[in-house]
A and B are shown apart, each in its own frame.
Chain A
Amino acid sequence: MLIKDFLKKSSIYNVLSTESLISKEFREKLSKLSKTIITILLLVLLFLYFTKNSSKYSGLKNFVDTYNLLQRTLGLILINIGVYIYSELGSFYLSSTYYFEKITKNKYNRDELYTFSAGRVLYTGRKTDILHGFFDSKIGKLILLRLGVDQKDSRKFYTSQKIDSKEDVPKAESDILKLKDIIKYLYVTKPSFTRFLNGKGITDRELFGAMEWVIYDIETKEYNEQWWRPEYLAKTKSLANDWSFGKTFVLDKYSRNLMQDQEVGSEAITFANRDAEISQIENALSKSTGANAMLVGEQGQEKMQVVWSMCRNIKNRNIAPALLNKKPILLLTNSLISACKDKDNLEDQVSKIFTEVLKAGNIILIIDNFTELYKHAESLQVDFINLLDPFIRSTSIQVVALVNSYDFHQYFENNKAVINNFETVLVRDLDQEEIIKIIYSAALKSEKLYKIFFTYQAIQELANSASYYFSNGVSSDKSMDLLDEISPWAKKNGYQSVGKNEVLEYVEQKTNIPTSGKVSATEKVKLLNLENLISKRVVGQKDAVIAVSNALKRARTGVRNPNKPIGSFLFLGPTGVGKTETAKALAYVFFGSEDNMMRLDMSEYQTDDAMERLIGSFVNGKPGVFSSMIREKQYGVVLLDEFEKTSKDVLNLFLQILDEGFFSDMSGQKVSTRNIIFIATSNAGADTIFKMVSGGKNPKDAQEEIIADIIGKGLFKPELINRFDATIIYRPLESDDLKQIAKIMLNKLTTRMVEKGLKVEISDELIDYVVKNGSNEAFGARPMNRFIQDSIEGSIANLILNGDAVPGKVIKFIIGGDGLSAKVS
């Protein structure tokens, strides 16, 4: 069916047609203008009327009479009243016919063929085609703007497209054609449209997301204008509902009426759909006895958001009868705690509060931080649950306690009195899509406040970054915090439009973690040459260097799995072959300094208290070495030296860390390790490697055999080895490798001496001598540094002290029968 014929089949057609003649914005302006003119003219009319009847201003009176001003002003007023009524009636016409596809349950009639948003695109394209209709319609332009598409670009694109005037209407997925169907149709059937968007880096997911946001914005505004809806009218507080309920004098000192919170009153603040949790609370609070609920969720505002959503339902009278006309009162736990410092006082105040709640008869008592109150009471030797028992068992009291998941497991899960009288309601974690929806309204508010513009990609990145770069707390809270911080930052830095890159730039500034948003030119060069740069320091271990370099490249280009550490490697091999040096080189080359390598000697964590020392102790509240280390530096290399020597519990902890990229410390707080490279080193299997090398085998080819040997010895579980991104076998160093290492070390010394004005000559004999005396089979190149320090550096020090080595001199080393001697020339 052709677009025009299809459009005319619905009653909305007339509304769309009216809208095309006089737009909503124009009508609103007309209404405001006529209202102002009426007010001014009324004042003029009054003035003229009194002038006419006063004998004082005879000149003015004549002027008014001559030009018939009184009558003419009245005429103007009547015209403006007519215009005002017309514009208001027009708004009423549009609003009352508007139905919603996003923000409320579908209100459309069965005979409607398309939604308003779809109709607006089709109406614009009725003389051209759907593609032109989309680009030319106001809603289409808004969607493209939210996607960060330049208007000139989109104009250039769609004007170059051929018009298909005989285009059929796309098929609807449900019984009514929605904008989503139209966009899907364009995306699937118009390759040029898809190419245009993809060329700008826009995915289909972003396209639909932006569409949803635009529709949401339009519908929220429209919904708030429909004051005659029963749910809107129900929001007005009754005059005398409180008269039948009791007063709460003591409770008032420590509480707040949640109905007066902005989060309850303003529809512009959106929450995720919490119907499931609210329904569980309704069931719990509707019970005849023990009508209480314990809301259990992660630390943060999500539990309160469930409560606010419930309060909104009470306000809109869309709630179970047991909660209708009830007043949700939030007990301010902290003020109660600070006011009651001794046992008797606390018992007295708590009893009074609960007695008042019981007597009042219309209160739902919400206790935030229930655990804090519980812990405070316990510290004063008050049996808190026993104190509450008669009240919470009562038939006429409703309590909702808010508890963090960790505290719930710690204190209440096994407490029979709590479990019997409180129905546990778990607050589910929100997924990414839901978090984005929560940010919609907050971002619109920020836009107004700071006069900036957010693209949809920015909103998406806010949700992503919050969970990716900030480990503590609930994702939705973190996203909102990030939004609150980024708006003033963007304003200050002169960004009028905030896109994905601006969000990443802010995150990078805040966390010092390079985000994959921008890879700078110098960084690009560094990444491409990473292998060479590391190889300058790590000799003879090509496989290890390649594996580590690839992990970094994956991380910085955003290819890696974001829910795991950047990379995790198990380096196996004998001592002194470059395992630790690789970690150091990586920290230096990529993270800028060797200081960015955090080292844990795992042989120190073999005892039963190893876990406590690493992640902190719940009993004494002492923070752990590992958790503190990661919190301080979220981005860098962690070297786990002698990994096989640590306790089984610690190895199990790393099973989770390597798999999920986080762990929980002693207080249940999440610590993210998603921006860390873990390098675990171990000498395990060194014997086997030596044997293979002496048998002429390349250890790399026998990797499986070596790993099987390690597992067989019970040093590591196979599942732990599998969690590492790669297990790399370090082969014993050959004499050429050792020579190169000696050269590198001696060159370092030479550089240091140049700074003192001395030149040290490095001969091949000296290198051979260092290799011969500074390395052995068991320790590889490890003794080399010590040897250079003792013999070479020691000799130079003596020469400096003797006064022989002064700036400008050259130091030579001669190898004779009695060893090494230094000469100055």
Chain B
Amino acid sequence: MQLERQDYGEAILITVNEPRIDAAVAIQFKDRLRELAGDSPARVVLDLKKVEFLDSSGLGAVVAAMKYLGSDRKLELAGLTKTVEKVFRLTRMDTVFKIHNNTGEALAGLAHVA
């Protein structure tokens, strides 16, 4: 499960470098995200622009990640492809997450911390 973290001060960006979040990898996705976001600041932006396919197991894993962060931190989504956006819309999970068109929008005004 290829996830990459970059720090932006009050936010971190986690890029999913996988074409699919499905039943075959949902548990690895959940575990890896917890590892990367364990010490995160208040905002965690998940970049999904490379994800072409998300099934209900993958959706459940994204929701689980949101719950893991607790009420003081937020999981936000960016770069949803057409098929992934449809899954969020159909299940109304698009009402639960803050969804940005892209990471530029999500991280506007923040500088990358090396």
Q: Do A and B bind each other?
A: no
